[in-house]
């Protein structure tokens, strides 16, 4: 049922919880786990400045480090794991990657935004939940 | 991890899928499954009419039948199952029931509303995802 599980990861506490759930499910379903983190250069566009190259490089370096750690953790738990740094708007990048790789379940952490922030900003997890064509688990 | 799984059920195709996922997870996690359906008399308030008693009775009868079928299916699959008809606004009723019964995972079906309807109406599943304090899986 869940042969391939994707985890949206960013090194935060909520995404670490999501990874733990993914590892646990993967053991019981003999799933492959795909850990992805999106580097979103478009955030610079929203504030109307050209991104300094060093800033993007820093983001990519940080994402690479997060993913390496996550892959290491899952692998140590005996789970076959693939890690990937994606580029672009996170929700879009995650959904495209899931589609391309025939993922059966997406797991995302919830940031626990306040009601105000949620209305104002939306969130990666709610967009993924709304737009995904496969099951999505939001870990709290 | 998922000792108690709640499924929001209403007899629809999407909720049948949610039940199937719950049964599969319950087998692997030795979970107890709680199948609930909320009878929402408040929908009559929104259109400004007093609900005819017979209409509420019909809704309750239908919910009872749905739940009985779901419990039967899960039980036949060897899963320990509790069924319950709740009363009131579905998202609120589900979240309160989950809290009271120490549920560890909520599974809801996605109705696949159009973008317009989603913005206008919201949906039970998105409210449950946003307001739940425990993991929620939205089955598509």
B132: left (phi over 0), alpha (psi -120 to 50) or beta: beta
Q: Please indicate if any CB of chain A lies within 8 Å of the CB of B118.
A: yes
| pLDDT tens-digit readout, B51-80 | 777 888 999 999 999 999 999 999 999 999
Out of B130, B133, B138, closest to residue A118 by CB: B130
The residues, any chain, with a CB within 8 Å of residue B133's CB and separated by 6 or more, are A140, B99
Closest Cα in chain A, distance from residue B110 (Å):
9
What is d(CA A96, CA A88) in angstroms, rounded to the nearest whole number?
A: 11
Out of A1, A29, A135, closest to residue B138 by CB: A135
In this structure, how many other beta carbons lie within 10 angstroms of the beta carbon of residue A60?
15
Q: Please indicate if any CB of chain A lies within 8 Å of the CB of B26.
A: no
In the CATH hierarchy, which fold is given to the domain comprising A4-139? Answer: Rossmann fold (3.40.50)
Test B136 with A138 for CB contact under 8 angstroms.
yes
| pLDDT tens-digit readout, A63-80 | 999 999 999 999 999 999
Q: Please indicate if any CB of chain A lies within 8 Å of the CB of B24.
A: yes
| pLDDT tens-digit readout, B94-121 | 999 999 999 999 999 987 555 555 554 4
Question: How buried is residue B49: exposed, middle or buried, by Cβ count under 10 Å (0-12/13-18/19+)?
Answer: exposed
Q: Where are the domains of chain A?
A: 4-139
Out of A1, A118, A133, closest to residue B140 by CB: A133
Bridge pairing between strands B136-139 and A136-139: antiparallel
ipTM: 0.91
pLDDT-derived band at A44, boundaries 50, 70, 90: confident
Residue A115 confidence (pLDDT) = 56
């Amino acid at each position: 049922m869940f042969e391939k599980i994707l985890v949206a990861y960013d090194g935060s506490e909520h995404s670490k919880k999501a990874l733990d759930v993914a590892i646990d499910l993967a053991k019981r379903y003999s799933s492959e786990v795909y850990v992805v983190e999106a580097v979103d250069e478009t955030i610079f566009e929203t504030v109307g400045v050209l991104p300094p190259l060093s800033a993007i490089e820093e983001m990519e370096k940080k994402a690479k480090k997060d993913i390496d750690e996550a892959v290491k953790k899952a692998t140590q738990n005996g789970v076959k794991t693939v890690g990937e740094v994606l580029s672009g708007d996170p929700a879009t990048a995650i959904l495209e990657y899931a589609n391309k790789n025939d993922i059966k379940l997406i797991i995302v952490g919830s940031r626990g935004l306040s009601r105000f922030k949620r209305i104002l900003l939306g969130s990666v997890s709610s967009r993924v939940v709304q737009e995904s064509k496969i099951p999505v688990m939001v870990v709290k």
